Each structure stands twice: as structure tokens, then as C-alpha cells.
Structure 1
Amino acid sequence: MLNEKIKRDQLLTIQDLADFGEELLIGIRKLISYHGKPNKQWIKSAEVKTMLCLSDGKLQYLRDKGIVPFTKLGGVTYYNLREIEDLMNSDKIHDHQTKSQTV
């Protein structure tokens, strides 16, 4: 119905308005769900450093210790976004930051 040419003397019914409102809400929900979720599974080091507030050296240290899981592909280091989010919610990063500051 949205693609039809609307004429000036055409009447709209309450049902037409209800249908339009429903279509509009469906479209808005799709936009919110699409933009609310990251559309990628793998991120690079720069994004991880920003997310975890780390320097290059600290990220390398955490990789070497096995704290931050990663995958290398063609010389580029990738991190699984879900694993990094889980790491952010755990105390592993905070424990290592406080230990390295006291040592």
C-alpha cells in the first residue's frame, strides 16, 4: 500500500493509519536491533587497546601471559569480540593491572 500513488481525494481509514503505524514500528525496531549490535565478530589490536585502556606493551604482555586470547592471520592479530567483552566483565585484567603496578 505504501508504494501506491495517493490521490488527493482518497480517503484514509482508521485501519490504514493503524497499518501504517505498525509498519513504522516494525521498521524502527529493525533499525534499533541492527545498530544496537556489533556486526563484526573479530576486532584488531587498536580496538582492544581502546576497550581495555591498554598500551601496546601491556596488551603484548597480556597476550604473552595467555590472559587475552587472540588469533594471528597473515601477520595481523585478531581478537574475538565476545571473548574481549567477557574479559572486560571479569577481574582478570584488573588483577594483572594492579599486580604490575605494585611490583
Structure 2
Amino acid sequence: MNVELITKEDLRELENKLLTEIKKIVQVGGETVSKKWLKSNEVRKLLKISPGTLQNLRINGTLSFARIGSIIYYKQEDINKLLEGGLE
């Protein structure tokens, strides 16, 4: 029976290889993959707002949305514009 010892350096090397592979998977065409559509709870967390405030943004047309069944989705690009102060 052969016994191999694993050193801290071996673990660091494995970590670097894993991180490199994960970065390759996450990146597509040089851009990091992100969700195109977000659910209400994700938007509320990003904007740090209450459900009522999010509803007001929908009602007054500040934030466009799509409803599929009972779930409301928001475009990531619209959220980014709102964060940058670009939506009117």
C-alpha cells in the first residue's frame, strides 16, 4: 500500500487550479455571466427597499416588470439604470 503525503503547498496549488477553472466557467466571452431577470425579493435586497416601495415603483412606471403566473420579474439592466439614476 502506497502512502502519499499532502502538503500545504499541494493544497494551495489545488486551490489555485480550482479557482482558475471556476473563473473560466463563470466567464463567457470575457464578461461575467449575470442573471438577466431578477425576482422581487432579489430586487428588494439590491435596492434595500420594502415590498410596498417596490410595488410603488411598478405602479408609477418607474420600474418595468414581467409577470409569469404569480411571479414578477425585473430586468437586471433596468435595476442597474435605476441604481445609477438613469430611469425616469
TM-score bracket, normalised by the shorter chain, equals 0.5 to 0.7
1:42-76 Cα offsets, whole Å, 9 max, x none, are 11000100111110101001110000111111121
TM-score, structure 2 as length reference: 0.62
Aligned amino acid, residue 77 of structure 1: I
Please tell me the root mean square deviation across aligned C-alpha atoms, in Å: 2.8
Match of 2:64 among 62, 69, 80: 69
Unaligned residue ranges in structure 1 (runs of 5+): 1-23, 94-103
Unaligned residue ranges in structure 2 (runs of 5+): 1-16
The structure, 1 or 2, with the larger RCO (C-alpha pairs under 8 Å, 6+ apart) is 2
The structure richer in strand per residue is 2
1:77-103 Cα offsets, whole Å, 9 max, x none, are 00111111111111659xxxxxxxxxx
**Residue 77 of structure 2 corresponds to which residue in structure 1?**
82
Q: Distance in 1 between matches of 2:65 and 2:55?
A: 11
Q: Distance in 2 between matches of 1:59 and 1:48?
A: 8
Shift of 1:28: 2.9
Between the two proteins, the alignment pairs up a number of residues equal to: 68
Give the fraction of aligned pairs with identical amino acids, expressed as a percent: 29
The structure richer in helix per residue is 1
Structure 2 residue matching 1:43: 3-state secondary structure:
strand
Contact 2:58 2:65 in 1 (8 A): yes
Which protein shows a greater Rg? 1
